[in-house]
Amino acid sequence: MTSQRTRQRLIERLEAEGVSNLEVLDVMATTPRHIFLDEALSHRAYEDTALPIGFGQTLSQPYIVARMTETLLGAAGKIDSVLEIGTGSGYQTAILAQLIKDVYSVERIKPLQDKARQRLHQLGLRNVFLRHADGGFGWPEEKQFDAIISTAAPRTMPKELLKQLAPNGALVIPVGDKEQVLTLVVREGDSDDFHTTELEPVRFVPLLSGVTR
Ligand code: SAH
């Protein structure tokens, strides 16, 4: 179930769905997704589907992880830092950490963050900074980020996140309530102008406010 062949089949499927960034495909081929799931579900880890991780949350579908990651890499200038809203299982975090120098990730549910921390440690990924907070406000103490990715959907575009985009930085985020659209926003140079592109309809868990212990 966790064999290289099973993983390779998932990668072929992602390619068939239009994912073309070879770096992203390589990292997804070598990152074990099963360790991000409870044992009872780990046999489904290499299916191209979202899976529950407890607390009413889900580990995103591999296609979505790949698509969001390649969109960011293709849209921003040079990316040395990325902010992720919604660490969840830590799987998307692990993918980013192998492609980008510094990864900052915010999660509002403490037990999910604790588990994610263990898994990232187990994989030897030391360039990840985790924070237990409401990510709707980004990570305001940090400087700006070259890229921001949200794996939870706000109803409307959060202005706080736009402020934390570095010049030529890119944000990928699902926006909407029942009907959500994966949206790319790119800051034009160091101006306060942003270019927005709607990519495709998606289904994410909602971005909620506040934190839980
Ligand atoms: N990237 C994760 C996806 C988890 S689902 C993965 O691949 O496993 C989205 C996550 O966003 C959930 O864990 C949820 O608790 C978290 N979330 C929702 N609203 C949030 C907020 N305001 N701040 C931080 N995290 C939030």
Please state the atom number of ligand 1 nearest to the C-alpha of residue 109: 15
For the segment 27-47, what is each residue's pLDDT rounded down to a tens digit?
A: 999 999 999 999 999 999 999
What share of the chain in percent tops pLDDT 90? 93
Mean pLDDT is lowest, of 5-9, 48-52, 94-98, 164-168, for: 5-9
Question: Does residue 22 carry a pLDDT above 60?
Answer: yes
Bridge partners for 195 per DSSP: 186
Mean pLDDT confidence for 115-120: 98
Is residue 6 assigned to a domain?
A: no
Please state the atom number of ligand 1 nearest to the C-alpha of residue 84: 1
The predicted pLDDT at position 142 comes to: 81
Within 13 Å and on the Cβ side, how many CA atoms surround 23? 12
Bridge partners for 145 per DSSP: 165
Is residue 169 assigned to a domain?
A: yes
Is residue 172 assigned to a domain?
A: yes
> What is the per-residue DSSP string for the chain?
--SHHHHHHHHHHHHHTT---HHHHHHHHHS-SGGGS-GGGGGGTTSSS-EEEETTEEEPPHHHHHHHHHHHHHHSSS-SEEEEE--TTSHHHHHHHTTSSEEEEEESBHHHHHHHHHHHHHTT--SEEEEES-GGG--TTS--EEEEEESSB-SS--HHHHHTEEEEEEEEEEEESSSEEEEEEEE-TTSS-EEEEEEEEE--PBP--S-B-
How sure is the predictor about 1, in pLDDT bands with cuts at 50, 70 and 90? low
Token readout for 13 is 């499927």
**How many angstroms separate the alpha carbon of residue 138 from the centre of ligand 1?**
13
The predicted pLDDT at position 175 comes to: 98
How sure is the predictor about 62, in pLDDT bands with cuts at 50, 70 and 90? very high
86 touches ligand 1 (CB under 6 Å): yes
Specify the number of domains making up the chain.
1
Please state the atom number of ligand 1 nearest to the C-alpha of residue 136: 22
Range of the domain at 121: 63-202
CA-to-CA separations, 55 to 112, 120, 166, in angstroms, rounded: 8, 20, 33
Is residue 57 assigned to a domain?
A: no
Q: What is the mean pLDDT of the chain?
A: 96
Question: For residue 189, what is the domain's CATH number?
Answer: 3.40.50.150
Q: Which residue has the higher pLDDT, 54 or 76?
A: 54
The predicted pLDDT at position 3 comes to: 76
User: Are 176 and 198 contacting, i.e. CB atoms less than 8 angstroms apart?
Assistant: no
151 touches ligand 1 (CB under 6 Å): yes
Residue located via tokens 């706080």:
160
Is residue 166 assigned to a domain?
A: yes
Mean pLDDT confidence for 73-80: 93
Is residue 187 assigned to a domain?
A: yes
How sure is the predictor about 141, in pLDDT bands with cuts at 50, 70 and 90? confident
Give the mutation target among 53, 148, 205, 211 for probing the ligand 1 site: most ligand atoms within 8 A of CB: 205
Question: Does residue 8 carry a pLDDT above 70?
Answer: yes
* Residue of 60, 81, 89, 150 marked catalytic: 60
Question: Does residue 2 carry a pLDDT above 80?
Answer: no
Is residue 45 assigned to a domain?
A: no
Is residue 54 assigned to a domain?
A: no
CA-to-CA separations, 186 to 8, 12, 63, 133, 163, in angstroms, rounded: 33, 30, 22, 25, 12
The predicted pLDDT at position 53 comes to: 97
154 touches ligand 1 (CB under 6 Å): no
Question: Does residue 96 carry a pLDDT above 90?
Answer: yes
88 touches ligand 1 (CB under 6 Å): yes
Please name the amino acid found at residue 134: D
Is 209 noted as a catalytic residue in this protein? no
